[in-house]
Amino acid sequence: MNRPISFLPAQYRGVWQRTSIERPTGKLEDNTSKVFWIQTSYLFTDIRIPKRPEILDQQLSSILKQRASAGFTEIEESSGEFSSILKWNCELDYHPDCGTADIGGCYFLTLEKAIQEGSRTSGDLSPNRVLPAGPHPITPPEAPLLLYYQDFPTMIEKGLPPQDYREVWVKRDPGSQQSAFILQEETPSVSGRQRKGIWLISGDYWSCTLDRYKGPETLGSRITETRADSLGELLREWKLPEADQYKIAVEFEGYFGKIEKREDGKKVFMVYHSTRPEMEGKIWLEMEGNQEKKPISRDPKNEKESLWIVNHWGYERKWSIVTLDHNDLF
């Protein structure tokens, strides 16, 4: 690794979808999970949802296979095989610390090579695909993302020794318009408990990650302070009742979706994928949807730094503005 770069260059910013992973390199492990990574110049969110059955499966064993994280990304220029080395520092993580750094070497593919990679997935990676006439269903919620492949960059991420894996990432949004927020306050709240949150918007796509509640004698703090290969392994070791295991698993909230404009002009934040399965296909936030209290208003004490958000379920959150390019939303 060579000299560090403070902020990620434009080619790394945007919305990325993982189409496959080989582990070890050369052996296809997964090309069906819904994996999305939003990267800004500094902050990132990442969500990984294994393929669900047609009937929504909320069994604990299925829930514990999910992954989600958020934090900040570091980049270093490289030479030889890789264009750069990326390191994802997880400030919020669905799973406990396993002791292995999330770091990989990255390089971009030519269009021809990208199309070859596309033949390994269920989607079409050819450029400028023309869709047939007629309506295109949005059920299941991820359907538009599978159908509308665009001529966007394709990136390969490879593990650095001793890790051995190869991931294919296709960019869904160029990242030319991005907003980023960090959670400051949440109400209603419980005394002595608090949690972190990162909310990113890139183009019409959005993602929000909310950590487990932390504080004295909370399981959220215990998980953060304990090293284990996975959340499931840790909860089994603690021998908690299954109901308590499920509760702590879904307390960590990861969301990925798209902002949709309705016929009445309202804009809604639709949930496409979530670590809380019951939330998929539902509205996370609706603009102008609350007549008694505006869903979004600027902090009167410091108009340029914070936003107050009131969501569909009555939670009120104060978000510190890191970047705000979506002024038309607020």
Using the predicted structure, report yes or no on whether residue 55 has a pLDDT greater than 80. no
Q: Is the pLDDT of residue 38 over 50?
A: yes
Residue 122, amino acid: S
Q: Could you give the percent of the chain with pLDDT greater than 70?
A: 80
Q: What is the tens place of the pLDDT at every residue in 60-99?
A: 888 999 999 999 999 998 878 999 999 999 999 999 999 9
Note the pLDDT tens digit of each residue in 276-314.
998 999 999 987 644 334 556 566 566 557 888 877 667
264 pLDDT exceeds 50? yes
Examine the pLDDT at 39 and tell me if it is beyond 60: yes
Strand positions, DSSP E, the chain = 4-5, 14-22, 28-30, 34-39, 43-49, 67-77, 84-93, 103-108, 154-159, 166-173, 178-187, 197-202, 205-210, 253-261, 267-274, 283-286, 296-298, 306-310, 316-323
Among the residue ranges 5-19, 135-149, 186-200, the one predicted with the least confidence is 135-149
Give the per-residue pLDDT at 52: 77
Of 154-168, 197-211, 264-278, 288-302, where does mean pLDDT reach its minimum?
288-302
Q: Kindly indicate whether the domain formed by 4-173 is annotated with CATH number 2.40.128.
A: yes
pLDDT band with cut points at 50, 70 and 90 for residue 123: very low
Q: What is the pLDDT of residue 13?
A: 97
> What is the rounded average pLDDT for all residues in the chain?
83
**Choice among 109-113, 200-204, 207-211 with the minimum mean pLDDT:** 109-113
How confident is residue 119, by pLDDT bands cut at 50, 70 and 90?
low
Whether residue 231 contacts residue 94, with contact meaning beta carbons closer than 8 Å, is answered with yes
